Amino acid sequence: MASQSEKTGKGLTYRDAGVDIDAGEALVERIRSHVKRTLRPEVIGGLGGFAGLCGLPKGYKNPLLVACTDGVGTKLKLAFLMNKHDTVGIDLVAMNVNDLVVGGGEPLLFLDYFAVGRLDVGVAEQVISGIADGCKQAGCALIGGETAELPGFYADGEYDLAGFCVGVVEKDKIVDGTTLEPGDVLLGLGSTGFHSNGYSLVRRVFLEEVRLDLGSRVDELGCTLGEALLRPTRIYVRGLRRLAASGLMKGAAHITGGGLVENPTRMVPAQAKLKLQINLGAWPVPPLFSMLARLGKVAPAEMRRTFNMGIGMIVAVPAGAVDAAQSILELEGEKVFAIGTVLRADQPDAPVEFVS
């Protein structure tokens, strides 16, 4: 049987194979304005080159580069279901810059990787506009990225995202927990929800076990379930940068996968005989978490080791500087709770101690 190309007398093209170069070029033109609004003075050149160029900010005497990479995970599945793509880009930036800033770093530049089976320019622009929104919040420049059209690799209407962030920190201003001592206070910064972690369990409970409608309003949440679940990860950069500049941030932990069990101890140096005690009654757990636990019959211990439970970032500050640290963070719009204490431990690598 003759092939379609033989019937028409034309050879196969890349578009016939599923890759539309013209759509890719159209996307580049549509995202120029989004990229432009994120630029910093250190950025050299514009969009469209093979690589982005960026200088180091002025004022650093002994700068070190800091680099992070992360994705959004299965939270993307909800964006597909709701056909809402303008917030997951913020999540992508947040998961990177929040990791970078806990060490005292200043986010400098960001690159994204957007992979899709068939490029929909409108959807891609929504995603990248969200990335630009996140970069603006974090103060870093979106200097480039890669849009990969991979026919047959992803299901129709689905895509994946990865992000890469580079920052800078003064060598003698690194925050690595080495000054932590018994009596330091743990301040918890409020989250906007599940952020970008635990969504395999979230989808299992809400969509598969109890089959809730993402578009239905839930009174205890004050919005639809879908809106609550797609609320973007909070970006803590400005508050933590100010806190670090004040000299009050002795350690910090971004609460991601591993929840309140695994992440807080990452601020404690490996050989330090210290432990972190967290008071579970020190902050109001948002109703979204209680709802998931109730409907999914998820045990409290499992909730703590999977989710942030309403605390997206923990910082350790001196006991005598709690009020000052809280004021700095609240000026940047953070909800701040004194949630625990640094204590002496009998041996290194002590687990988080939870008290009620």
Write out the two tokens for 83: 């056909």
Which parts of the chain are beta strand (E)? Answer: 43-44, 53-54, 63-71, 106-116, 141-149, 159-170, 185-190, 217-218, 223-224, 251-254, 274-279, 311-317, 336-344, 353-355
pLDDT of residue 17: 67
Show the domain range for 317. 185-355
Of the listed ranges 11-25, 159-173, 200-214, 287-301, the least confidently predicted one is: 11-25
Write out the two tokens for 145: 């990225």
pLDDT band at 52 (very low <50, low <70, confident <90, very high): confident
Of the listed ranges 22-36, 61-75, 141-155, 187-201, the least confidently predicted one is: 22-36
pLDDT of residue 22: 72
The rounded distance, in Å, linking the Cα atoms of 260 and 324 is 25
- The reported pTM is 0.92
The rounded distance, in Å, linking the Cα atoms of 285 and 243 is 25
Mean pLDDT score of the chain: 93
Q: Are residues 198 and 289 in contact, defined by beta-carbon separation less than 8 angstroms? A: no
Average pLDDT rounded to a whole number, residues 238-250? 97
Q: List, in order, residues 6 or more apart from 28 with CB less than 8 Å away.
A: 47, 48
Q: Specify whether 329 is located in the same domain as 239.
A: yes
pLDDT of residue 6: 47
Q: Are residues 184 and 178 in contact, defined by beta-carbon separation less than 8 angstroms? A: no
The rounded distance, in Å, linking the Cα atoms of 6 and 29 is 35
pLDDT band at 23 (very low <50, low <70, confident <90, very high): confident
pLDDT band at 81 (very low <50, low <70, confident <90, very high): very high
Which residue, of 147, 173, 199, is where some domain finishes? 173
pLDDT of residue 41: 86
pLDDT of residue 1: 47
Q: Specify whether 189 is located in the same domain as 73.
A: no
Q: Are residues 203 and 106 in contact, defined by beta-carbon separation less than 8 angstroms? A: no
Q: Specify whether 162 is located in the same domain as 201.
A: no
On the question of pLDDT at 58 being above 60, the answer is yes
CATH number of the domain residue 74 falls in: 3.30.1330.10
On the question of pLDDT at 35 being above 90, the answer is no
Q: Nearest to residue 163, comparing CAs of 144, 179, 181?
A: 144
Q: Specify whether 160 is located in the same domain as 216.
A: no
Helix (H) or strand (E) holding 131: helix 121-138
The rounded distance, in Å, linking the Cα atoms of 34 and 351 is 43
Q: Specify whether 221 is located in the same domain as 258.
A: yes
In a domain, 178, yes or no: no
Kindly state the percentage of the chain with pLDDT values over 90: 83
pLDDT of residue 39: 84
Q: Is the dihedral of CA 344, 345, 346, 349 positive or negative?
A: negative
pLDDT of residue 242: 97
Average pLDDT rounded to a whole number, residues 117-146? 94
pLDDT band at 304 (very low <50, low <70, confident <90, very high): very high
Average pLDDT rounded to a whole number, residues 104-108? 97
Q: Are residues 236 and 137 in contact, defined by beta-carbon separation less than 8 angstroms? A: no
Which residue, of 132, 147, 173, is where some domain finishes? 173
What is the DSSP-derived secondary structure letter of residue 87?
Answer: S
In a domain, 180, yes or no: no
Q: Specify whether 194 is located in the same domain as 342.
A: yes
Q: List, in order, residues 6 or more apart from 125 with CB less than 8 Å away.
A: 27, 30, 31, 34
pLDDT of residue 269: 95
Number of domains in the chain: 2
Write out the two tokens for 156: 């129709």
On the question of pLDDT at 2 being above 60, the answer is no
Of the listed ranges 46-50, 121-125, 221-225, 243-247, the least confidently predicted one is: 46-50
pLDDT of residue 9: 56
On the question of pLDDT at 117 being above 90, the answer is yes
Average pLDDT rounded to a whole number, residues 28-49? 77
CATH number of the domain residue 244 falls in: 3.90.650.10
